[in-house]
Chains A and B, each alone.
Chain A
């Protein structure tokens, strides 16, 4: 393992630990910051796997919020209606979205990214209708109340802060390690040219399906945490807009780096907290997004910026190599 590869794994981890410690210190001074920190951590947990899937693999998904809702409703139903312990329901909350995603992945992931985005957001809309109409299980529009807090963590916000950031840290480390591995390079090859990747022995369908499934499983984990942290789950709690917002976090922060989704999640949460007036927020935030998408299409933590610190995680694209064609005729 070369020094630069070790560093590219460790530096995001160190930065995330730095963010978590800074937020914890700020939370000691002003306790409401813990709530903001948990929200950032929750969004980061949803955005990181999407960053891997979209930024590295080129497969766009607008279903992260939907899979989180599946995880959240699963634990809400199992713990409140069937009396399961939260840790037993965790297995189902993670497993169900992961299996569901793996099953539907094959026909989905062969679609070009534009149609994939629209199919995945349509899936989330279908999930929402199912949650609204399966009243006996989900409580319909009113949702499920009285979801017990997690053991040990309870309602203590600082414990919730450390729990969610530990999860973010683990996912970020796995992301960085995955990208450096042979499979990570195969994933980048898939993004640049699927046919070429297949011709070099990469099982494109399996690689993308398993990654899609993994993203859904992590979203389920985030949903599980959310349901026990908030104590309430309704179809509107994690609605289709969240799925779109998660994608915006990835694009805004920088889809090609490990830290990009976390930066996007942080900016998104802070913007929601700091911008005046909830009604006018959409105008300011939407305009800001348009400006960033038009003028900084690679996001804030872009490869250009990362090259400056020599910590880029995306394999350099072949267009810089003379004689290599990126697109098929």
Chain B
């Protein structure tokens, strides 16, 4: 029974990581950039939400995360305008530098404490298994958001533009699609999704100014752990990472669970399970 409870807690945690992996994946697929600042957008959303408090804090937090990712989108557009064929790793380094900026700003404004947004109170007892309503809420929000995104990508005109830009930016631009504008919108979308994840994180594990980098590494491992980068696999990968971390916390000696995500990244990438092509612009 304890194993089931640990597993469910892992799924609850995985819902947050799944959204973060989703945010990294949509930006990665459309722009070729792994946005390492994604975790920092989430941390900022959580901290702004806690600062503003309910009922509007969550919305403000998500807006703050969107504004931050929009700024990164602008930096990306300037970078590409100055040299369309420049090495992508440089813009990835920009996202790391940007996460330093956000981290430092959060520390200056909100201090160093781990902060919590009021969580959904109560718990359910299902056949002897204890479920927190906060966990159920997190999973519901994550699943609704993921399904909505999937449906939008598949059936809406905007989703079609995004998919076309992701498959081939050059071909899409030849057919008249404003690829750069689409890429900017995807940065905003990624920030908004990370913002929701950040608010959910602040309701369960809490967020601090320095949470961003660790969250980004977890999100990245979620995005690649299943071998290909797609929206569905990234979300599922995030869920699995949450599960692995929760089980690690329960069964590994204390402190070793922090190594779960990095070990998964090393194991998956070095095993050759991940196609080299995903790092060179091949798209789903």
Q: Which residues of B contact A115 (CB under 8 A)?
A: 224, 269, 274, 279
Which of A113, A280, A282 has the most B CB atoms < 10 Å from its CB? A282
Asked if A123 is an interface residue, CB under 8 A from chain B, the answer is yes
Q: Say whether, besides A122-B262, A251-B90, A290-B97, A112 and B280 are in contact (CB < 8 Å).
A: yes
**Are the CB atoms of B92 and A294 closer together than 8 Å?**
no
Binding stretch for chain A, among B42-50, B99-107, B176-184: B99-107
Q: Which residues of A contact B79 (CB under 8 A)?
A: 293-294
**Are the CB atoms of B105 and A297 closer together than 8 Å?**
no
Q: Which of A108-136 contact B (CB under 8 A)?
A: 108, 111-115, 117-119, 121-123, 125-126, 129-130, 132-133
Which of A108, A118, A244, A297 has the most B CB atoms < 10 Å from its CB? A118
Tell me how far the C-beta of A306 lies from the nearest C-beta in chain B, rounded to whole angstroms: 19
**Are the CB atoms of A125 and B217 closer together than 8 Å?**
yes
Q: Say whether, besides A122-B262, A129-B256, A286 and B98 are in contact (CB < 8 Å).
A: yes
**Are the CB atoms of B258 and A279 closer together than 8 Å?**
no
**Are the CB atoms of A129 and B258 closer together than 8 Å?**
yes
Asked if A247 is an interface residue, CB under 8 A from chain B, the answer is yes
Asked if A60 is an interface residue, CB under 8 A from chain B, the answer is yes
Asked if A287 is an interface residue, CB under 8 A from chain B, the answer is yes
Chain A, residue nearest B81 (CB): A294
A122-B218 Cα distance, complex, nearest whole Å:
10
Tell me how far the C-beta of A230 lies from the nearest C-beta in chain B, rounded to whole angstroms: 23
Q: Which of A282-313 contact B (CB under 8 A)?
A: 282-283, 285-287, 289-290, 293-295, 297
A119-B221 Cα distance, complex, nearest whole Å:
10
- Which A residues have a C-beta under 8 Å from some C-beta of B? 60, 104, 107-108, 111-115, 117-119, 121-123, 125-126, 129-130, 132-133, 240, 244, 247-248, 251, 279-283, 285-287, 289-290, 293-295, 297
Q: Which residues of A contact B99 (CB under 8 A)?
A: 286
**Are the CB atoms of A112 and B279 closer together than 8 Å?**
yes
**Are the CB atoms of A107 and B270 closer together than 8 Å?**
yes
Q: How large is the interface on B (under 10, 10 to 19, 20 to 34, 35 or more residues)?
A: 35 or more
**Are the CB atoms of B97 and A122 closer together than 8 Å?**
no
Q: Say whether, besides A129-B258, A282-B100, A119 and B265 are in contact (CB < 8 Å).
A: yes
Tell me how far the C-beta of A197 lies from the nearest C-beta in chain B, rounded to whole angstroms: 17
- Which B residues have a C-beta under 8 Å from some C-beta of A? 34, 75, 78-79, 82-83, 86-94, 96-101, 103-105, 107-108, 213, 217, 220-221, 224, 253, 255-256, 258-259, 261-263, 265-266, 269-272, 274, 276, 279-280
Chain A, residue nearest B78 (CB): A294
14 example contacts (A-B, Cβ-Cβ < 8 A) are as follows: A107-B271, A112-B276, A115-B279, A118-B34, A122-B266, A129-B256, A129-B258, A133-B253, A133-B256, A281-B104, A286-B98, A289-B94, A293-B90, A294-B82
Q: Which residues of B contact A294 (CB under 8 A)?
A: 75, 78-79, 82, 94
**Are the CB atoms of A133 and B255 closer together than 8 Å?**
yes
Q: Which 4 residue pairs of A and B lie closest in terms of their CB atoms, listed nearest first?
A: A282-B104, A286-B101, A122-B262, A286-B100
A115-B229 Cα distance, complex, nearest whole Å:
13
Q: Which of B87, B253, B274 meets A297, CB within 8 Å? A: B87
**Are the CB atoms of A290 and B274 closer together than 8 Å?**
no
A296-B65 Cα distance, complex, nearest whole Å:
28
Q: Which residues of A contact B103 (CB under 8 A)?
A: 282
Q: Which of A118, A126, A280 meets B104, CB within 8 Å? A: A280
Q: Which residues of A contact B258 (CB under 8 A)?
A: 125, 129
**Are the CB atoms of B263 and A286 closer together than 8 Å?**
no
**Are the CB atoms of B253 and A247 closer together than 8 Å?**
no
Tell me how far the C-beta of A140 lies from the nearest C-beta in chain B, rounded to whole angstroms: 9
Chain A, residue nearest B104 (CB): A282
Tell me how far the C-beta of B220 lies from the nearest C-beta in chain A, rounded to whole angstroms: 6
Chain A, residue nearest B86 (CB): A297
